[in-house]
Structure 1
Amino acid sequence: MKLSYRTPASLRPDSETRDSRRFSGLDGLRGIAVSVVLVFHFFPQVLPGGFVGVDVFFVISGFLITGLLVDEYARSRRISLRRFWSRRVRRLVPPLVPLVLLCCTVAWMLGGDVLVGLGWQVLGAVTFGYNWVSIAGSASYFSATSPELFRNLWSLAVEEQFYLVWPFALLAVLLIRSARIRLAVVCTFGLLSLLWMGFLFHPGSDPTRVYYGSDTHSFGLFAGAALALLLRHPNGLGAPTRNANAGAARTGPAGFTRFASRLASPARLRPWLGLAALLGIGAAAAWLPAAGPLAYRGGLAAISLLSCVVIWAAVRGARFGRWLDTPVLRWIGERSYGIYLWHWPLFVLAGVAWPAAGVEVHLLVAAVAVLVAAASYRWLEQPVRRRGLRGGIRSLSGFATESWSRLAVVGVAAMVGLILVGGTTAAVVVAPAETSAQARITSGRHMLEAAQADRKREDAERKSDPTAAPAPVAPGDLISAVGDSVMLASAPELEDRFPGILIDAAVSRGMRAAPDILAAQAAAGTLRPVVVVGLGTNGPITTDELLAIEAAIGPDRKLVLVTAFADRDWTAGVNEALVGFAAHHRLVGIAGWHDAIAPHTDVLAGDNIHPGPTGGRIYADCIASALDWLAPQHPLHGRDPYRLGQDPVVLRPVS
């Protein structure tokens, strides 16, 4: 986020003039960061780690805000909280209001899943508490089942909560006379946040809590704050003194001053160190997994440190700063706040309006986001920042020279505002309780709970009456199925097609969970002769995981692997691994869900992943086809579970 204030003299690069108001290179770095985030959201397969762009913003914000506060304290030995928070409100709120009103109104006009939870999202947006509202509502940053309209506002909430608390903490830190201890205290704050993230993160679970939390994800802000304290000459932070030498003595040991001086000295190496750090950030954007332990146990902290190196090289070295501040990157960086605000809601709304949107629509949405952000920057953000709210409003109507024309402008603006407020209110009022995908998942969960209750009741009745006739044998009695939310949404149709099937399915489950589940069933004696596994939706898989599944079920059971269908960057790799594994193992077949549903996405729920009733029947048909394909090649002794008395859809394993 761009903040304009007079740069403290001790932080200016040598080539900077005394009236400069902008740190060299930071606008360009903002431009890079927001571009990386846009690519991550629009084309995740290109930059699967592009979420690191937000952490670059955190470091920039911590650096600039701390420098602003330190500069004020060095001048007046006080920090005006009222003036500080007023500047933050002027900077952040004006573009946020039209974003919320306009996008909510459009969502109301479109209807459907995009309205789910909209009231809580608006509450999180206007209170700058979106991250905690999402955590309380068990929302997932990494889920595609719910198209959250304002999901990107979580990072704005983290920054605003930091702005609310940090001035008080910094004031206490600045009372410490030793510059070295001041720096150590701020670094300790960041280290505690980092360690807390690593402690709360559990591999295999959804990491949204540790990613959204302002307690777990503030280390980047503290890293930027520490850099600001390190680069600023410590003389200006101590008590007033008569000369520089006395100030240095009272502020901290001379060794710290020499260290800060040495940090700025390698002028020739600075650009190359900055470039190397920038390349490191780019490598992370290309390869760092979003849900893996590497990101939350050191990866994001490394991004923060690399960002500090880039900022240091830019503000201390004019050449590297000029490299970053190319005209295009600087232009994007100055408007990065608006681009970040608008790109995600527009992306979500476009996905609702055009469910089968391709690359062309995504590029168009990105262009519209940039144009809207540019207009907001020119006619809303800049006037309000320079003249305040009232002055900004007057400047917007300044082109109207006559009083009647100004009145007309005000009238039209008021009418548009009332329409948008009405549309937003209507959107919140008519919002459904859950998405179509969630409704299907809930239906499947209720069916499984009812089936489990029926089995327990029948077992209890047979135990109480030993003379009772045995329960009739159903075709599905020989099948155990373990799956994710796609299987859970298809549970009613699976039960209808294979009466008596034993289904264990859960939301957000990955392949790594299957071996333990199947081993537990085998140990309990409940694992059946045929095992169906549908766990490719939520992440990449490995051959070792498939081998572990095969070992868990034993050598005599048949295994059916269901291919995955989802707009995820790992889907193709998952399906290749499944097909390749089946080709080299005699008792393994493939249920081709991906190829069967691809021409019929209209029968999926709004997230384009989970099946509706018709899609659930296609899912069951795929499994029936795989069983039919396995039957003549690998018959069981005695009863044949594959011939179910129906003619399944002819589907062969995907090739």
Structure 2
Amino acid sequence: MRIKWFSLVRITGLVLVLTYHFFQKKFTGGFIGVDIFFTFSGFLITALMIDEFARSNQFKLRAFYRRRFYRIVPPLFLAVLLVIPLTFLVSADLRTDIGRQIAAALGFTTNYFEIATGGSYENKFIPHLFVHTWSLAVEMHFYLVWGALAWLLAKISRRFQPNQAFNRFRLMLGGLAAVFALGSFLAMFIGAGDLQEFSPVYFNSLTHSFPFFVGSILGVCSGIRHQLPKFAWLTKHGKPILAISLMSVALIGLVSLGYFMKFDHLLTYRGGLLLATSLAGAMIYGARWLHERTPNTPEPFWMGFLADVSYSVYLFHWPLYVIFSRLMANWAAALLTTILSIALSALSYYVLEPVIAGKAAHVFNYEWRWQQLRLPVVTVGVVLASLTGYSAITAPKLSSLEQNLWISGIYQDVDKVATTRDVVLAATRKKEQKAQAAKNQRPKGVSVIGDSVTLGTREYLGDHVANSSVDAEGNRTMNLAYDVMKTQQDQGILRETVVISVGTNALADYEKQLMKIVNDLEPGHRLILMTPYNAKAAPDWNSSKLAVLERKLPAKYPFITIADWERAAAKHPAIFAGTDGVHFSGRKAGDELYAQVINDAVKAAAKTPTKQK
């Protein structure tokens, strides 16, 4: 029994996700499309479980797992095999550690792989081609656990009288879903409290499974064939306009969340995702209701088609977009990705999946069976599998950017050994230092404290910024830069001019952390603030707001000078072509521009007074 208008729910989820990935600056909350999929899956699976038990007084676990396998695994394998050859069109960086990415995707552990490797859903130096399969991993975990529990509850329910068994099964299934939904949401609510980067609770199957169970509760109450009496009465007697209104309000709410919700906001995890799940549930019920009230109105073909291929489109779109976006303009990459994803998904859904499952595929009034397709499918599969295996074996372990940062880190460690000598010598000159401090005199030169962007160009800076020392580290935030500054101050090695080049990884309390640096910098220093640059950043991102704040400070604090990297970098987009929009991957033009911005600021700072008190 196919429920009309459910297609609108699936299409809504798909459009939200695609729009988020293609236009992340504008549609910052489109990731809730995944929660729509989760909620719908929980509803549909649980409703079908109830229908099966009502029909046969049992739930066949093996058949359930087999259906899930044939629906999920073939498109996933196809996506992996077809995408890998396309990576040879672009930088080898996209194949960095691709073997482990593929293993995680096919093993349905991408979510925990990303957590273990420090992956972020929004920010990666080199985006993982299969990071989007994190949601598939969470979904598979749900199917495995929920299927086994439904089988167990079915066994227990069969011990009751036949007229009681069905109600017992539905009651226990609904109660267990309610417990799991509450537990999962509370785990996310509590777990997000101490985090600045929320991927660990977003990816985690335990904290992000509540949409499935909210959907399951709805499936128990208003399933496919068997609904609770009040729901059944409403769907049979409620006016269609009310169902349409419910769906419309839910859709407007979901689109609004897509525009305004932010991945890096605590409120997203303490109610935002639950609100999106609730709106998805309302839309699902509205579709279920409208189905009953429009028996003579057919669902448009295009709607059913897009719903059918939505899962495979989700699988194909992300790796294709990552590749194409490095070869062409963003709008062209989004368009080509959409067209190719739909075409490949149609091939998968209407031909390959049924044939692999032992069924006949009907395309253009022609019947295709495994016997006819076996030779070409096996041949192409072997070629693609061999190429994928070759790519996994020969893939670099580190991207060029990561190699650059790693090497720079080694040089920095060597320099720190030499710096230790300076600290020891400084300790023997305490009287001289105290005298200098009394006169607000500091060691001459420039101390640069930076993040991964600075680390990537560290060697060049050392040679081209006179009398400088550079301390840089990947993922450094403003509070960590403050710690470095304080340590160097205490050791007496912080130089007269201090450059703080941190901010791309700006946290919510960026203003508080920046002002700690301004206030706790000792007298006798000049401070240069280098504005952060991220080509993908919207005006309301923390890094963008930090740059605005930094530009205002020299008017109040004469000892502060701005090195406006954000504006300088924006004028040279070629430096960031094919990168994450933050790092320039050791390109000489980037090194030269970065050093020039610092040197110009150092010259300007030399004309300003040092901090007096």
The alignment's TM-score, normalised by the length of structure 2, stands at 0.83
1:300 aligns to 2:264 (yes or no): no
- The equivalent of 1:596 in structure 2 is 568
Q: CA deviation at 1:440?
A: 2.1
Alignment check: 8 A CA contact 1:493 1:616 kept: yes
Q: 1:374 to 1:438 in 2, by over 3 A?
A: same
1:373 aligns to 2:345 (yes or no): yes
Alignment check: 8 A CA contact 2:502 2:530 kept: yes
Q: 1:138 to 1:536 in 2, by over 3 A?
A: closer
Q: Distance in 1 between matches of 2:30 and 2:262?
A: 9
Alignment check: 8 A CA contact 2:404 2:456 kept: yes
Q: Distance in 2 between matches of 1:202 and 1:620?
A: 39
- The equivalent of 2:333 in structure 1 is 361
Q: CA deviation at 1:498?
A: 4.1
**Which moved further from structure 2: 575-584 or 301-310?**
575-584
- The equivalent of 1:87 in structure 2 is 67
Alignment check: 8 A CA contact 1:488 1:506 kept: yes
- The equivalent of 2:162 in structure 1 is none
Q: Distance in 2 between matches of 1:584 and 1:264?
A: 69
Q: CA deviation at 1:58?
A: 0.2
1:249-278 deviation digits (Å, cap 9, x = unpaired): xxxxxxx86688679876464433332222
Q: Distance in 2 between matches of 1:554 and 1:463?
A: 18
- The equivalent of 1:218 in structure 2 is 209
Out of 538, 550, 557, which is 2:518 matched to? Answer: 550
Q: CA deviation at 1:519?
A: 6.2
Q: Distance in 1 between matches of 2:606 and 2:195?
A: 35
Write the letter of the residue equivalent to 1:623: I
Write the letter of the residue equivalent to 2:260: W
Q: CA deviation at 1:28?
A: 1.0
Write the letter of the residue equivalent to 1:584: A
Q: Distance in 1 between matches of 2:294 and 2:510?
A: 47
SS at match of 1:610: coil
Q: Distance in 2 between matches of 1:101 and 1:335?
A: 18
Out of 147, 165, 176, which is 1:185 matched to? Answer: 176
1:273 aligns to 2:246 (yes or no): yes
Q: CA deviation at 1:95?
A: 1.8
Q: CA deviation at 1:599?
A: 2.2
Q: Over aligned residues, Cα RMSD in angstroms?
A: 4.0
Alignment check: 8 A CA contact 2:39 2:215 kept: yes
Q: Distance in 1 between matches of 2:536 and 2:380?
A: 39
Write the letter of the residue equivalent to 1:52: I
Instruction: Spell out the pairing of 1:73-152 with structure 2 (5 A cutoff).
Output: 73-108=53-88, 110-152=90-132
1:157-208 deviation digits (Å, cap 9, x = unpaired): 1111111111122344554738666533311101111122233325553322
**Which moved further from structure 2: 608-617 or 22-31?**
608-617
Write the letter of the residue equivalent to 2:270: R
Alignment check: 8 A CA contact 2:446 2:497 kept: yes
Q: CA deviation at 1:67?
A: 1.0
Alignment check: 8 A CA contact 2:59 2:151 kept: yes
Instruction: Spell out the pairing of 1:151-166 with structure 2 (5 A cutoff).
Output: 151-166=131-146
- The equivalent of 2:163 in structure 1 is none
1:567-599 deviation digits (Å, cap 9, x = unpaired): 323368447614642463343322232343442
**Which moved further from structure 2: 610-619 or 570-579?**
570-579
1:205 aligns to 2:196 (yes or no): yes
Alignment check: 8 A CA contact 1:441 1:489 kept: yes
- The equivalent of 1:625 in structure 2 is 600
Q: Distance in 2 between matches of 1:94 and 1:602?
A: 40
1:508 aligns to 2:475 (yes or no): yes
Q: Distance in 2 between matches of 1:266 and 1:394?
A: 38
Out of 246, 255, 261, which is 1:288 matched to? Answer: 261
Q: CA deviation at 1:521?
A: 6.2
1:420 aligns to 2:384 (yes or no): yes
1:476-505 deviation digits (Å, cap 9, x = unpaired): 855444433212222223333346645454
Q: CA deviation at 1:108?
A: 4.3
Q: 1:180 to 1:90 in 2, by over 3 A?
A: closer
SS at match of 1:335: helix
Q: Distance in 1 between matches of 2:231 and 2:7?
A: 28
Q: 1:613 to 1:111 in 2, by over 3 A?
A: closer
Q: Distance in 1 between matches of 2:564 and 2:188?
A: 39
- The equivalent of 1:577 in structure 2 is 548
Alignment check: 8 A CA contact 1:437 1:606 kept: no
Q: Distance in 2 between matches of 1:62 and 1:53?
A: 14
- The equivalent of 2:397 in structure 1 is 433
Out of 196, 204, 222, which is 1:231 matched to? Answer: 222
**Which moved further from structure 2: 312-321 or 42-51?**
312-321
1:411-439 deviation digits (Å, cap 9, x = unpaired): 44443223212211111111001112212
**Which moved further from structure 2: 545-554 or 185-194?**
545-554
Q: Distance in 2 between matches of 1:348 and 1:61?
A: 27
1:38 aligns to 2:18 (yes or no): yes
Alignment check: 8 A CA contact 1:115 1:427 kept: yes
Out of 449, 453, 456, which is 1:486 matched to? Answer: 453
Q: 1:526 to 1:74 in 2, by over 3 A?
A: farther
Write the letter of the residue equivalent to 2:331: V
Q: 1:476 to 1:280 in 2, by over 3 A?
A: farther
Q: Distance in 2 between matches of 1:83 and 1:155?
A: 23
Alignment check: 8 A CA contact 1:510 1:535 kept: yes
Q: Distance in 2 between matches of 1:422 and 1:396?
A: 32
Alignment check: 8 A CA contact 2:48 2:224 kept: no
Out of 324, 331, 344, which is 1:350 matched to? Answer: 324
- The equivalent of 1:609 in structure 2 is 582
Alignment check: 8 A CA contact 1:543 1:581 kept: no
Q: 1:439 to 1:606 in 2, by over 3 A?
A: farther
Q: Distance in 1 between matches of 2:333 and 2:169?
A: 56
Q: Distance in 1 between matches of 2:38 and 2:310?
A: 13
Alignment check: 8 A CA contact 1:535 1:562 kept: yes
**Which moved further from structure 2: 274-283 or 118-127?**
274-283
**Aligned pairs, number:** 584
Q: Distance in 2 between matches of 1:394 and 1:313?
A: 32
Q: 1:210 to 1:311 in 2, by over 3 A?
A: same
Q: CA deviation at 1:541?
A: 7.0
Q: Distance in 1 between matches of 2:525 and 2:303?
A: 59
**Which moved further from structure 2: 542-551 or 414-423?**
542-551
Alignment check: 8 A CA contact 1:37 1:53 kept: yes
Q: CA deviation at 1:114?
A: 0.7
Q: Distance in 2 between matches of 1:224 and 1:521?
A: 55
Q: 1:145 to 1:454 in 2, by over 3 A?
A: same
Q: CA deviation at 1:610?
A: 1.4
SS at match of 1:141: coil
- The equivalent of 2:306 in structure 1 is 332
Alignment check: 8 A CA contact 2:450 2:502 kept: yes
Q: 1:422 to 1:476 in 2, by over 3 A?
A: farther
Write the letter of the residue equivalent to 1:155: S
Alignment check: 8 A CA contact 2:351 2:362 kept: no
Alignment check: 8 A CA contact 1:540 1:571 kept: no
Q: Distance in 2 between matches of 1:607 and 1:37?
A: 20
Q: Distance in 2 between matches of 1:39 and 1:484?
A: 31
1:531-584 deviation digits (Å, cap 9, x = unpaired): 322233235778844445433436864332223332323368447614642463
Q: 1:555 to 1:461 in 2, by over 3 A?
A: closer
- The equivalent of 1:249 in structure 2 is none
The alignment's TM-score, normalised by the length of structure 1, stands at 0.78
Out of 437, 444, 461, which is 2:408 matched to? Answer: 444
